[in-house]
Amino acid sequence: MELLTIDHVSIAYENERNFAVENVSFSVSGGEYICLIGSNGSGKSTLLKGITGLVHVTRGNIERHVKPDEVAYLSQNHGIGQNFPATVYEVVLSGTQRRDKWRPFYTREDKKTARQAMELFGVTEFKNRRIGNLSGGQQQRALLARAFCRRPKLLLLDEPCAGLDPVITKEFYEILYRLNKDEKIAILMASHDMEQVENYAGRVIVMDQTVEFDGTIQQWREKISEGGGVHV
């Protein structure tokens, strides 16, 4: 089942002749694990923001064949302010609120979902701590637990492990892989971490404003060995 169709999309921030993303087309199907790779400034984050609606798509069209609540987005860890006035439990629980069914209270079912998500992502022990007091990796896990509460079909991730140590990073990618395999959540992730891309991605899309390559990791390796690689 197709979740997302990106059709000849171009995105410019200011000057309409200076595109950060240019004429990009591809689609994402249920259960795929796709890594968007490319050098700094190649348009990966911009494309993800275009998909989420955070930036305006200048030309072309993005069709989402899923409800807005079925898409979750997690960006780079910029560190939540220490004084952010919510505990891990409150942040995770807020993920159960759906835009189409807003309620002024949480049900017993919502609380159970939040507890399960905290357990799954290993943040139960921090549940009463302010999220801003956690380490970067713990915060990212809590935010992923929050995203998971929505039962998303598609998870968009923008370098979610930037700045995290290698052990935490590996753990985080293992969680993502499990989500993809066990829960069949499709993943579209911008990444510079080629080890993770090699280990987990079923498909890689190489960007340089436009799509330079779209295929399996094996096909990508072959292209590189033939000398056709793009610097990432």
Ligand X SMILES: Nc1ncnc2c1ncn2[C@@H]1O[C@H](COP(=O)(O)OP(=O)(O)OP(=O)(O)O)[C@@H](O)[C@H]1O
**Site of interaction with ligand X (CB under 6 A):** 13, 20, 38, 40-46, 190
How many whole angstroms from its chain centre is CA 52? Answer: 10
Tokens encoding 98: 């759906």
Nearer to ligand X, 35 or 93 (CB): 35
DSSP three-state, residue 210: strand
The nearest distance, CB 209 to ligand X, in angstroms, is 8
- Give the DSSP letter of residue 104: S
The nearest distance, CB 93 to ligand X, in angstroms, is 31
Q: Which of 191, 204, 205, 208 is nearest to 76 (CA)?
A: 191
Q: Which element (helix H / strand E) includes 205?
A: strand 203-208
Nearer to ligand X, 20 or 155 (CB): 20
The nearest distance, CB 12 to ligand X, in angstroms, is 9
Nearer to ligand X, 37 or 88 (CB): 37
Query: What is the rounded radius of gyration, in angstroms, for the C-alpha atoms of the chain?
Result: 18
Nearer to ligand X, 148 or 172 (CB): 172
**Residues near 14 by Cβ (< 8 Å), separated by ≥ 6?**
none
> Is 6 within 8 Å of 57 (Cβ atoms)?
no
State the burial class of residue 24 (Cβ atoms within 10 Å of its Cβ: 0-12, 13-18, 19+): buried
The nearest distance, CB 36 to ligand X, in angstroms, is 8
Q: What is the largest CA-CA distance in the chain?
A: 59
Nearer to ligand X, 86 or 230 (CB): 230
Tokens encoding 155: 């998870």
Nearer to ligand X, 19 or 173 (CB): 19
The nearest distance, CB 47 to ligand X, in angstroms, is 7
The nearest distance, CB 173 to ligand X, in angstroms, is 18
